[in-house]
Amino acid sequence: MRHAIIVDLGFGDAGKGSVVDWLASPAASAVAGLARPPVAVVRFNGGAQAGHNVVTPDGRHHCFAQFGSATLHGVPTVLSRHMLVEPLAVAAEARALAALGVPDPLGLLRVDVDALLTTPYHAAVNQARETARGAAAHGSCGMGIGETVAYDLAHPEDAPRVRDIMHRSRLRRLLQRMRDRTVDTINQVRPTRDPAELPSVDTLLDVYRQFARVARLVDAGYLRRVARAGRLVFEGAQGVLLDETNGFHPHTTWSRTTFENASELLTVAGVDVHDRDQVLRVGVTRTYATRHGSGPLVSEDASLLPLLPEPHNTTGRWQGAFRVGHLDLVALRYAVDVCAGIDALAVTHLDTAANADRRAPGALQVAAAWYLPSLPGPLLRRLHLPTDGPSTQLTGLAFHAQPVLRSPPTGWAALLHDELATPVLVQSWGPTWTHKLPNPVAVAA
């Protein structure tokens, strides 16, 4: 039995949800160590801004935000203490899952009482700040994720957590202080926003009280108990290149997007994360680079957009446009280094690359290195990890770099195996779990 941790090696949208869905499907039973279905999916970073698309063989589609991407298989979800829980969004997602035929979605949800709450007040400040930045916008999802973390750092005693839902008088005080501060911040940052648009404290109290009635709230010991019961799949959000410490700042998320949070949770649960017989660390990548909104994308090539259809990721009001580029080996190597290595790869969108090649042979290429016109010297094939925390140095480098392109490979999975010195666990040739081709040898390697 192996616990699996799934992270995205890019800027997000690589197909983590589809891989998690496959790990809970009958098809994964062909892979040694993954034969038993997971007893739970654990979300270990981010919040309601996640968008993990899953399509079932019978054509149903859901974009998972806070529920785990194996929910359509009936697998429970654990929102760990590292999650930022947004009860209003949870309720909306539960209704959408019920409409798809999932009986009692909220009955499948477990929420750690130590998780921070994301509220409409966080979202309002987030949107005001991003609007004020204008052309210098960071590319936020506009859902208050960064503001939830920032508020906790600035006012740790006042930041509401899930456990506060059970104490109405305390939660009222916390929400009132937050609303007052939100009004002050909006008046400073974007005075045109009418504070009257913010929901009242009483409205939120009623919503959160209902959430406490239907969601199962758990303590720190729950994960240890469930880890003993069977195999867990840890589902990450966003991408490693957006990591709060090692990403391309300031176009990053306020979250640890590597294996770090999941490893910490497993260690507390009594699992030896260094034992590869117990834990499998999987990095997910497309056959080409993608990015939502602002920030560097060295291999970007807008001419590829017509060749790479994107049914589920579109231009967002706050994120901006969905962008594409050639597979960037420099960025991928950096992501693997940030993760301190990975055990296996999941390669997605192989069908999209094949279709693009049929329409325009050779158009989709590979960025083998970066070239800096203003800095004569050798080509960059590997980036150095920051040593002093978040830095804009890498961002400046990436904004000025140009990709050194080479012809596409005869096999994308083989190329990634060789270039990243990592076995490929699964190849995805389509949106459903039936389109995934497992490689049993990868787990044993």
Catalytic residues: 13, 52
User: For strand 109-112 and strand 77-79, is the pairing parallel, antiparallel, or unpaired?
Assistant: parallel
Ordered DSSP codes for 316-343? BTTTB-EEEEEEEHHHHHHHHHHTT--S
Compute how many other C-beta atoms are within 10 angstroms of the C-beta atom of residue 388: 6
- CA-CA-CA-CA torsion for 320, 53, 241, 324, nearest 10 degrees? -50
Burial class (CB in 10 A: 0-12, 13-18, 19+), 385: exposed
Sheet containing 402-406: give its strands across: 288-292, 322-328, 366-371, 402-406
Whether 147 and 126 have beta carbons less than 8 Å apart is answered as yes
Whether 208 and 171 have beta carbons less than 8 Å apart is answered as yes
Instruction: Report the chain's terminal Cα–Cα distance, integer Å.
Output: 15
Burial class (CB in 10 A: 0-12, 13-18, 19+), 367: buried
User: For strand 424-428 and strand 436-438, is the pairing parallel, antiparallel, or unpaired?
Assistant: antiparallel
| C-alpha closest to that of 239 among 41, 49, 42, 439 | 49
Compute how many other C-beta atoms are within 10 angstroms of the C-beta atom of residue 213: 9
Name 7's bridge partners. 283
Q: Give me the amino acid identity at 426.
A: V
Q: Could you tell me the two tokens for 284?
A: 């997910």
Instruction: Tell me the CA distances in angstroms from 340 to 192, 335, 336, one per residue in order.
Output: 46, 9, 6
